[in-house]
Amino acid sequence: MASRALAVWEHRKVVGLLVRRDLKVKYQQSVLGYAWTMLEPLALTMVYFFVFGVILNATRGMPEDAKVQGGFLLFLVAGILPWNTFGAIMSEAPRAMITHSKLITTMKVPREIFPTATVGTKLIEYLLTWPVLILFVIFLGGRPSWEGVLLWLPLAIVLQFTFGLGLTLFLSAVNVLLRDVERLVRIISRLLFYGSAILFPAVLVLGSDAVPDWAKTLYQINPLLGIFEMHRAVWFSGFEELTPTTLALTSSVVGSILMLIIGYWTFRRLEMSVLKEL
């Protein structure tokens, strides 16, 4: 695995070219261009804010002073933006190899480059949303801290990249041989969205007497829960209710590493079969 990682690093310029190409293709025929990166998630945020914040009163899981300062709206923005990145990774992961089939069969480069470029493109798009996110932090009374910026944010991004890369390696290889995977991923994506505390604080589940202890433990084992809570902890310094629990944090680290190992092993095991199909 180390030798293949080194080979990918040696071909990092190819990864960069693929990322730039994908970004250029996405925006070159668009009138609004980069603005679409923000318009869709912001529109969804306002809809979710009305449904979950106003109608369903999901703000009861927020600290009191965070409610007063528009914290729930910032909570949604800080969760939906990284989720959009992960959702886009999941959506494109099954086709990462199929989309680049001509390049794969003609270029003598490590095939891991193509899933890596897919994940890299989506993370670049997430970084492009930060200027707007920071504006929300300023106007909605967010509480960023050096601890959050130097600890939670880098860790969240690294784990999201690790988990996303492992998932893309796995799905891109399996989907070439079993095309039903792409449809199944759409269903799983919806389940993960509602199971990762994107629209409501995790404390609503963990602090509920109606939820049995085994379900709370299962809920925290989801690696994505801790990752998205880390993304938000950056902007809510001092609010323990909005930071990941020890179990959620451990699950995120261990789960991301395991996903990368499983994804890489599957990719390498199926590589020759995939090449024959392409």
Task: Please state the domain count of the chain.
Answer: 1
pLDDT tens-digit map of 178-205: 888 888 998 899 889 988 989 888 888 8
Mean pLDDT taken over the chain: 85
Give how far the C-alpha of residue 132 lies from the chain's centroid of Cα atoms, to the nearest Å: 18
- Tell me if 254 sits within 8 A of 224, measured CB to CB: no
The verdict on residue 238 lying in a domain is yes
The verdict on residue 18 lying in a domain is no
Collapsed DSSP state (helix, strand, coil) of residue 100 = coil
Around Cβ 160, how many Cβ atoms within 10 Å? 27
Q: What totals of helices (H) and strands (E) does the chain contain, helices first?
A: 16, 0
The verdict on residue 10 lying in a domain is no
pLDDT tens-digit map of 128-147: 888 888 888 888 878 887 77
Which pTM was predicted? 0.90
Angle between helices 223-233 and 213-221 (to 10 degrees): 70
Task: Please choose, from the candidates 242, 273, 45, 233, the residue with its C-alpha nearest in 3D space to the C-alpha of residue 153.
Answer: 233
The verdict on residue 9 lying in a domain is no
The verdict on residue 16 lying in a domain is no
pLDDT tens-digit map of 256-272: 999 999 999 999 898 88
Whether 1 shows a pLDDT value over 80: the answer reads no
pLDDT at residue 131, rounded to an integer? 84
Over the Cα atoms of the chain, what is R_g?
Answer: 19
Q: Identify the domain containing residue 227 by its residue range.
A: 30-277
The verdict on residue 8 lying in a domain is no
The verdict on residue 19 lying in a domain is no
The verdict on residue 12 lying in a domain is no
Greatest Cα pair distance, the chain, in angstroms, is 59
pLDDT at residue 168, rounded to an integer? 94
Judge residue 119's burial from the number of C-beta atoms within 10 Å of its C-beta, 0-12 exposed, 13-18 middle, 19 or more buried.
buried
